[in-house]
Amino acid sequence: MTVPSMSCPPPHGGGHAPRRIPTSLTSRQREILILAANGNTNADIANWCDVTPHSVTEVLTSAYRRLGARDRAQAVAIALAVGEIGVHEIHIPDRQRNAA
């Protein structure tokens, strides 16, 4: 029995040159994206930054647009890929570190 070879297209963005963003994130966008990348909710971020959760949403939405991202996870992935944030800025929770 012969299995036909299937050719699936690469995932969105796969096989292309590294993504370049036209302008870098603002310091506020970067700060809030790093907090989001560390698993914090918009409400948590708002409390720490002394702003409303709506303001956090607006800043993140602007960051997504600037990065060309659809959501929080993709924004973090793109920011890591293009050097906007560093892996050292994302902290692994103790319970996950201990399980690894």
* List of domains in the chain: 27-99 (1.10.10.10)
Kindly list the averaged pLDDT for each block of 10 residues, start to end, along the chain of length 100.
47 53 85 96 96 98 97 96 94 68
- Nearest-Å Rg of the Cα atoms of the chain is 17
Q: d(Cα 80, Cα 58) in Å, to the nearest integer?
A: 21
Query: What global pTM score does this model have?
Result: 0.73
Query: What is the predicted pLDDT for the residue at 20?
Result: 59
Q: What is the pLDDT of residue 92?
A: 79
- pLDDT for 21 equals 54
